[in-house]
Structure 1
Amino acid sequence: MNIKDFMIQDVITATRSTSVKELLELLVNHKIGGVPVVDDENNLQGMISDGDVIRYLQPKGRTVYDMFALVLVSEKEDLMHKLDYAIDHKVENVMSGKDIFTVHPNDELEKALAIFAKHRFKKIPVVNQNYKVVGVVSRGDVIRYISTTLITKADEK
């Protein structure tokens, strides 16, 4: 099984100059958790996820639970101030630009499985030999593909 057999080819992307507000609109409107960051030629520059945005907005030294608890009690203005401040920041300030793992369309499914298992990513960019984004594969895509394959094989018996 190759990555090209189940990757999403209609890729939604952001650029380094996309604002946090525009990114959030993309994520919400498309019901996705992250996107590749590309340049004008569609070369991979990094990845950005909903988790990156949450970590960017999170006050230092606090857990997400603490942040929400404090918001409910006394720091609502602080979070709103941080949101107002960050909403126009660019994706390049928030994205992960190093240690980006990629797969190629002809790679075996096992390569994606190994990356998902070891690094706990939710989405992996699929790039061609020129490092241009040609697709993405998510954990859900892999699970659906495996499940469909197993169900089909079970039905054939």
Structure 2
Amino acid sequence: MQVRDFMIRKTITAKTSMTVKELISILESNRIGGVPVVDDKGNLAGIVSDGDIVRFLSPHKEKLYLAYYTVYVEEAQKIEDILRERMNTPIEQIMVKKNIKTLAPDDDFESAIRLISRHHFKKIPVVNGAGRVVGIISRGDIIHSLSKSIFNEEPVQDQ
């Protein structure tokens, strides 16, 4: 079995220029946890997840700095202030851009399961030879494919 046989073809993507607010809307309305980020030609530029958003929006606690016997106190951030400041940030600033793992439509099932398990990924973009996103594979897709192969087998006959 090849990746093309079980990948999701109707891939929801985001553009690099989208804001965090727009991305949250896409994730929420589609009930998904992440998307590939593409440039204007549909080429993979990065990937962004709900975890990236949570880390970006996470307020920090009060901090103390000591510099030449002067103590500086940085006030703890409030979530309301962070949301106001950061919701219009382009996702290009928070997306993962380096070391993105991808699969090709011709890769086999074993390659997909190895890649997802080795790196603890939730989703992996599927790209064609030109670098365009043509699908996505998630852990759920792997489980679904395994389930179909397990439960569609003929029952073992007792002898």
- Aligned residue for 1:17, secondary structure, equals coil
Which has more helix, going by share of residues?
Answer: 1
CA distance in 2, matches of 1:155, 1:83: 55
Q: Which residue of 2 aligns with 1:64?
A: none
Moved over 6 A (4+): none
Counterpart of 1:99? 99
* Residues 1-150 of structure 1: pairs in structure 2 closer than 5 A: 1-60=1-60, 78-150=78-150
- TM-score of the aligned structures, taking structure 2 as reference length: 0.85
Gaps of at least 5 residues in structure 2 are 62-74
Greater Rg over alpha carbons, structure: 2
Once the two structures are aligned, what percentage of the paired residues are identical? 43
Give the structure with the larger strand fraction.
2
- Structure 1 residues without counterparts, runs of 5 or longer: 62-74
What displacement does 1:59 show?
A: 3.4
Q: Tell me the TM-score normalized by structure 1.
A: 0.86
CA RMSD of aligned residues (A): 1.9
Q: Which has the higher contact order (CA 8 A, sep 6+)?
A: 1
